[in-house]
Structure 1
Amino acid sequence: MEQNQMPQPGPGLCGSDREIFERVWGRVTRSGGAESPIEPVPAAEWPHAPQYIQGYMPQVTAPEPAPVPAMPAPVQPEPSPAPEPRRAEAADIRCLGPSSAVHGAELQAFIEDELGDHRTYTALSRRTAGQASRTFASMAADEKRHAKRLSAAYFLISGVRYWPADRAPVRLEGTYLSTLRSRFLGEQKGEAEYRAAAGRTEDPCLRELYLELAEDENAHGWMLRGMLEKM
């Protein structure tokens, strides 16, 4: 076979394309390929290289993600020891405790007033008869009971028993009617004093006692008014 035999153009060449092919091939055979118009193209620039193919996406291997360090476990604080219960002091006792000692002189005065009213109503009971005598005797018993309740409160607060010595019976002066009027005003005064003392104290038990005694004084006033209205 002849070395420089011209290859046959493909069947697809015709007209001017066939003439161009024959002219180029002639130049190649005369120069031995030195003046070949055909230059080799690096493989990276081939038209059929992957990066020149439309729609081709090279496969890129993603790097392995770096390992995420584990978070250290939260440190649980050690539970603090429970505080020891505080022992109650004597000053913390609000109900008839040492903190109510500021009412000592007030309690003594109330005790003496109640015992004085007890003696007055006892004398009136002896001076009268029938229903009036019984009414005064009942009121006298109430006043002595008031004095005992107040004396018990004083003892719980101070630790000292306060009870004045018995005194001589009260001598009634003036008329019977004037005595009833005086006692009616005295009972209202006693009620007002107990209510005022209840408003001043922070001792809940002493406040309750004062308010109860105030109600009894109010009842005595109505009893005396009723006796006058029947005369």
Structure 2
Amino acid sequence: MEQELLPTCDREVFQRVWNRVMPQDREGCPIVLESAEEALPAVMVKPAEETEVPCLCLGEASAAWGDQLRAFIDQELAGQRRCQLLTRRVQGSGSRSLAALAADKRRRAKRLSTAYFLISGVRYWPAVPGDGMPLQPVPVQLREEFRDCQRGAAAYRAAGAGTADSCLEELFQECAQECESHAWTIRGVLEGL
């Protein structure tokens, strides 16, 4: 068994702390302390067992989802911008609801961007386009936003069902639930007009 020995004073400190934290040997623990009866206490590291490494959560095996993640990020940021623009055209509680939706869409884009980074090692955060949205009556824009939330929820659910990465699946399912909730918030804003 390979062992990594620490200097005597470090070993004693380590052993005292370790005994406080882990008073008895636990199965599967890689640290083994030699007994107190031995002349020079040493800390030994158990050799790693040969095991098959499972598919990592948000790992390279999920790289095939890169294009889809970028598309979702783009959609969330565009939705954020649309909601921000609508807050200026809607009064009262509807404006506050739309501002909250814009913030939620930005947070969702950040979570998706983080997943993309963990999978690819590349940070993806596109520039948000300016005020290029065509000016339509507020109810028409809200109706389109409502439908966009429904389409987004369906796309996230389909993506979640199609991935073998449990972490990515969970992220997609959470995003789908948030989109469905946002659709009902938009319906409430329309009812308040």
What TM-score results when the alignment is normalised by the length of structure 2? 0.71
Which of 75, 82, 85 in structure 1 is aligned with 2:49? 85
Output one character per residue of 1:74-114: Cα deviation in whole Å (capped at 9) or x when no partner.
xxxxxxxxxx733665xx43310100001000000000000
* Letter matched to residue 117 of structure 1: G
Superposed counterparts of 1:88-99, under 5 Å: 92-99=54-61
Task: Give the whole-Å Cα distance in 1 for the aligned partners of 2:147 and 2:51.
Answer: 48
- Residues 98-157 of structure 1: CA deviation (Å, up to 9, x unaligned): 000010000000000000000000001122221111111000000000100000000001
Secondary structure of residue in 2 paired with 1:196 = helix
Over 4 Å off, 4+ runs: none
Matched, 1:106 2:58: no
Provide the C-alpha distance between the structure 2 equivalents of 1:204 and 1:166, rounded to a whole number of angstroms: 30
Measured in 2, the distance between the counterparts of 1:182 and 1:173 equals 13
1:72-221 mapped onto 2 (5 Å cutoff): 85-86=49-50, 92-221=54-183
CA distance in structure 2 between the partners assigned to 1:134 and 1:227 by the alignment: 10
Q: What fraction of aligned residue pairs are identical, expressed as a percent?
A: 45
Number of residue pairs matched by the alignment: 147
Mapped contact 2:94–2:192 kept (Cα < 8 A): no
Q: C-alpha displacement at 1:180, in angstroms? A: 1.0
State the SS of the aligned residue for 1:127: coil
Equivalents in 1 of 2:190, 2:85: separation in Å? 18
Pair member with larger Rg: 1
- CA-to-aligned-CA distance 1:186-220 (integer Å, 9 cap, x gap): 10000000000000000000000000010110011
- CA RMSD in angstroms comes to 1.8
* Segment of structure 1 superposing worse, 92-101 or 107-116: 92-101
User: Residue 88 of structure 2: SS of its match in structure 1?
Assistant: helix
Where does structure 1 lack aligned partners over 5 or more consecutive residues?
Answer: 1-83
TM-score (norm: length of structure 1): 0.60
Q: Given that residues 81 and 128 in structure 2 are in contact (C-alpha distance below 8 angstroms), is that contact kept between their aligned partners in structure 1?
A: no
How far apart are 1:169 and its partner, in Å?
2.9
Q: What's the CA shift for 1:159?
A: 0.6
Secondary structure in 1 aligned to 2:125? Answer: coil
Higher relative contact order (CA 8 A, sep 6+): 2
CA distance in 1, matches of 2:192, 2:74: 31
Q: Is the 8 A contact 1:123 1:172 kept in 2?
A: no
Q: Which has the higher helix share?
A: 2
